[in-house]
Amino acid sequence: MSFKIKCFECGAEVTDGFLDSCPSCGGLLNVEMDLSKLEGKDPRALRNKPLGVWRYAPFLPVDQRKAITLQEGGTPLYDCRALASELDLDRLYVKYEGANPTGSFKDRGMTVGVSRALELGCKVVGCASTGNTSASLAAYAAKAGLGCVVLLPSGKVALGKLAQAMFYGAKVISVDGNFDDALNVVRQLAKEGHLYLLNSINPFRPEGQKSVAFEIVDQLDFQVPDVIVLPVGNAANIWAVYKALTEWNSIGWIDKMPRLIGVQATGSNPITSAFRQGKKDFEPVDHPETVATAIRIGNPASGRKALKAIYDTNGYATDVTDEEILRAQRLLGKKEGVGVEPASAATVAGVLKLRAEGQISKSESVVCICTGNLLKDPDTVIKNANKVLTAKANAEAVKRLIFS
């Protein structure tokens, strides 16, 4: 486990573990692992540990023996035959990240990020969040015995996520603004030394999030799918998947890269707009709006990394309307018995759209990373589901409702 922290933009090495951007150019930071000892090793040797984030410890930049873990990762990869046939695809898988300890993929990054915070001797951790990051950080901070501060955009956090952040003992602050505003505030607090920042601009977070890609390839017995589709919000997760597979490619554990496809909501689509114009940089969206509140982000902090991941893999970016998201969410539930939150359903909506446009072909094997659990956002489910029928407590009354 030897690594360096370097600037994503200018390549300068950064030695101060508390910085969240490059001191010379302001660029994003990136962890570079020394993987030379792994070259030529058999990846199947890792299988003596259970499927999960820590199976891939040689690829993680923290000391596994002191890790704060809730046994994250090891989530199912569902072979969705009925949905595949609906979408006219030969093979479609859903990586069900809702099965993580706090119900989203954020736990993969948090086990590494909070372990790093302890290594650095921090006492208080913090983040801004559309909900899932705060739920996850609150839980891992509790496990680690650290103080925790989370900033949430007022009125726009799904109920399940809010309940989780409140439940684990974090100081929860609703900020009068959107996620982008809250992130600016918490970055300022981190700069002043009041807390250790655990948003995904902290390069240790994507290191843990790499494990979702490792697991997918491991679960497919080292066959690389043709396409991996992710929802894009603050844009670090698609970078994490890219980084993971680039690392395995570089040591010969896989022999090709999948195309990475990012899906955004139409009302919150800066990366998709940049992609459509072939640009490496993006224009922020001032007032992002979508039912998929997890990805209601106009100024994605890791946007430039996401665009690199998409371009380098000959990938694609698209956006889908709220209506398309909710329809895809219901379709996944009805056809496969899999419940995901709206942001996660954006992947399925994106595949539907790109199949119709011919950007994904029938014979390509596709994996949708469904990032969060259905129960994160019960309000949206109830608002859009069939109404509950009511009856007197006798069989006749119930039969009338069933058979009418």
Q: How many CB atoms neighbour CB 88 within 10 A?
A: 13
When the beta carbons of 144 and 240 are compared against ligand F0G, the nearer one is 240
Q: Which has the closest alpha carbon to 313: 234, 233, 254, 372?
A: 254
When the beta carbons of 92 and 110 are compared against ligand F0G, the nearer one is 110
> Residue 113 CA to chain centroid, in angstroms?
14
Instruction: Give the count of residues interacting with ligand F0G (CB under 6 A).
Output: 22
Q: Is 373 an interacting residue with respect to ligand F0G (CB under 6 A)?
A: no
When the beta carbons of 46 and 73 are compared against ligand F0G, the nearer one is 73
Q: Is 133 an interacting residue with respect to ligand F0G (CB under 6 A)?
A: yes
Residues 21-80 interacting with ligand F0G (rule: CB under 6 A): none
When the beta carbons of 101 and 131 are compared against ligand F0G, the nearer one is 131
What region, left, alpha or beta, does residue 74 occupy, with left being phi > 0 and alpha being psi -120 to 50 degrees?
left
Q: Is 343 an interacting residue with respect to ligand F0G (CB under 6 A)?
A: yes
75/58 Cα distance (integer angstroms): 20
Name the minimum Å distance from CB 245 to ligand F0G. 16
Per-residue contact string for residues 265-304; x = within reach of ligand F0G by CB under 6 A: -----------------------------xx---------
> Residue 276 CA to chain centroid, in angstroms?
23
Bridging pattern class, strands 91-96 and 77-79: antiparallel
Tell me if 267 sits within 8 A of 288, measured CB to CB. yes
Q: Is 318 an interacting residue with respect to ligand F0G (CB under 6 A)?
A: no
Amino acid 49 reads K
What residue has token string 């980084």?
243
| In 121-177, beta strands by DSSP E | 124-128, 147-153, 171-175
Angle between helices 303-312 and 236-250 (to 10 degrees): 40
Q: Is 264 an interacting residue with respect to ligand F0G (CB under 6 A)?
A: no
Q: Is 237 an interacting residue with respect to ligand F0G (CB under 6 A)?
A: yes
Q: Is 317 an interacting residue with respect to ligand F0G (CB under 6 A)?
A: no
When the beta carbons of 216 and 235 are compared against ligand F0G, the nearer one is 235
- Which residues, 6+ apart, have CB-to-CB distance to 359 below 8 Å? 316, 318
83/229 Cα distance (integer angstroms): 15
Taking the CA atoms of 21, 292, 135 and 368 in sequence, report the sign of the dihedral they define: negative
Q: Which of 77-85, 88-96, 230-238, 377-385 is the region at the interface with ligand F0G (rule: CB under 6 A)?
A: 230-238
Name the minimum Å distance from CB 361 to ligand F0G. 25
Q: Is 325 an interacting residue with respect to ligand F0G (CB under 6 A)?
A: no
Residues 203-222 interacting with ligand F0G (rule: CB under 6 A): none
Altogether, the residues listed in the chain come to a count of: 404
The phi and psi torsions of 86 (rounded to 5 degrees) equal: -60, -35
Per-residue contact string for residues 87-126; x = within reach of ligand F0G by CB under 6 A: -----------------x-x--------------------
When the beta carbons of 21 and 268 are compared against ligand F0G, the nearer one is 268
Q: Is 349 an interacting residue with respect to ligand F0G (CB under 6 A)?
A: no
Q: Is 232 an interacting residue with respect to ligand F0G (CB under 6 A)?
A: yes
Residues that bind ligand F0G (CB under 6 A): 104, 106, 129-133, 200, 231-237, 294-295, 341, 343-344, 371-372
